[in-house]
Amino acid sequence: MERLRGKTLLVGLTGGIAAYKAAELVRLLTKSGAGVQVVMTRAAQQFITPLTLQALSGRPVLTDLFDLGLESEIGHIQAARSADAVIVAPATANVLAKMAAGIADDYLTTVLLATEAPVIVCPAMNAKMYAHAATQDNLSVLRRRGVMVVEPEAGSLACGEEGPGRLADLSLIVEAACRALTPQTLSGARIVVSAGPTWEPFDPVRFITNPSSGKMGFALALEASRRGAHVDLVTGPTALAHPPFVATHRVTTARDMEQAVKALARDAQAVIMAAAVSDYRPEDTAPQKIKKSDDDLVIRLVRNPDILAGLGADKQPGQILVGFAAETEQLLENATEKLRKKNLDLIVANDLTQPGAGFRCDTNVVKILDRSGGVEALPCLSKEETARRILDRIEALMRITKPGSDSR
């Protein structure tokens, strides 16, 4: 979570049993490089001790509004000012009601009124309390004011009941913090990203594929979504979990991928084809597993459709098309040729022979080529950072091609 490095997050704990999970949240946030300042309500301290949170955050926990030592510099205003984002986890029905009403009767609620930083609330409570009209109305008020709500999960609750009320998965809360800290530069845009390999079967249990992990495409989808875009991720088979807040469509073959990408691309301002699509597929797929014999087996391969070339051939006005070129030789020549032939706006070229580049790695070394012949060579970066750089370039092109813009 590079996005959190160096940021100051204020984590407010309120008095619910899920307070014990907030200890792990604080650990995760601290581990990602953020400075975490914990604030606890009186009730939260009944469930978990400030000492635990102090040990995990490495900072004294703020609890008492009238502590003479800590309040010498009007600490609650200081805390409110220094936070880049405030996360309330768990958020009880009580604190949500206080926030909606603007009550400031303890450290946390005072900070929540004083801060101008983005606020994320993570409700956790009994299912009936959560469903109660008062709680739901309070959440609507908070949403209208721009508070981000990370909805609770449904499941068996500590009170013995079943239903929505369980604190959201911590990875979702961390992701919400990343979003809150990301300028919403793609808000309102629709972006399609493809990722992963395709599987081209020749019998029910065997197929032709490649070692693509899907990591680059998933990183692009996540980053575009963090910037506020509606993202459709079309992915071949990968071991990766769905990126949070991204509409993920799982496909198997190149032809499945073509169908999904084409349909979604109609309304998209940008399409990024990061998938390693198999160029060929077996001509026939045997209905049963092919039995071994003493003879050699010959499988005839036929061409798969080139999805990106198809999109480029009848490109929508103003749409940005981005391709990838994974090469083992003549990187720039081959990538330039693909950019031109497929009618792309950008092509991201990576030399598979370089250490730290290409399939399966967590890093990539790419060059971004544009239509005017420009080549931006990026150093070896994490796929997360590479995704950011690629999206910066796409955003710049989107600004140029925006309807009403006269620059193109």
Q: How far apart, in whole angstroms, are the C-alpha atoms of residue 314 and residue 40? A: 58
Q: What's the token pair of residue 106? A: 């303890």
Angle between the N-to-C axes of helices 383-401 and 215-226, in degrees from 0 to 180, rounded to the nearest 10: 50
- Count of residues that bind ligand C5P according to CB under 6 A: 14
Q: What's the token pair of residue 83? A: 């936070």
Among 53, 181, 277, 398, binds ligand C5P (CB under 6 A): 277
Name the segment binding ligand C5P (CB under 6 A); options: 28-36, 107-115, 320-328, 392-400: 320-328
Residue 216 binds to ligand C5P (criterion: CB under 6 A): no
Cβ proximity to ligand C5P, 115 vs 194, nearer residue? 194
The CA angle 192-197-202, to the nearest 5 degrees, is 125
Residue 176 binds to ligand C5P (criterion: CB under 6 A): no
Residue 200 binds to ligand C5P (criterion: CB under 6 A): no
Q: CA separation (Å) from 106 to 63, 76, 77, 396? A: 8, 10, 12, 45
Q: Catalytic: 380?
A: no
Cβ proximity to ligand C5P, 175 vs 223, nearer residue? 223
Closest CA to 249 of 229, 264, 239: 264
Name the segment binding ligand C5P (CB under 6 A); options: 67-75, 131-139, 317-325, 364-372: 317-325
Cβ proximity to ligand C5P, 123 vs 323, nearer residue? 323
Closest CA to 347 of 365, 323, 327, 377: 323
Q: Decide: 244 and 408 in contact? Cβ < 8 Å.
A: no
Cβ proximity to ligand C5P, 14 vs 194, nearer residue? 194
Among 22, 307, 365, 390, binds ligand C5P (CB under 6 A): 307
Residue 324 binds to ligand C5P (criterion: CB under 6 A): yes
Strands (E), 172-291: 190-195, 200-203, 206-208, 230-235, 247-250, 270-273, 280-282
Of the residues 122, 159, 361, 380, which is catalytic?
A: 159
Residue 388 binds to ligand C5P (criterion: CB under 6 A): no
Query: By the criterion CB under 6 A, which residues form the site for ligand C5P?
Result: 194, 254, 273, 275, 277, 279, 304, 306-308, 323-325, 338
Residues assigned a catalytic role = 159
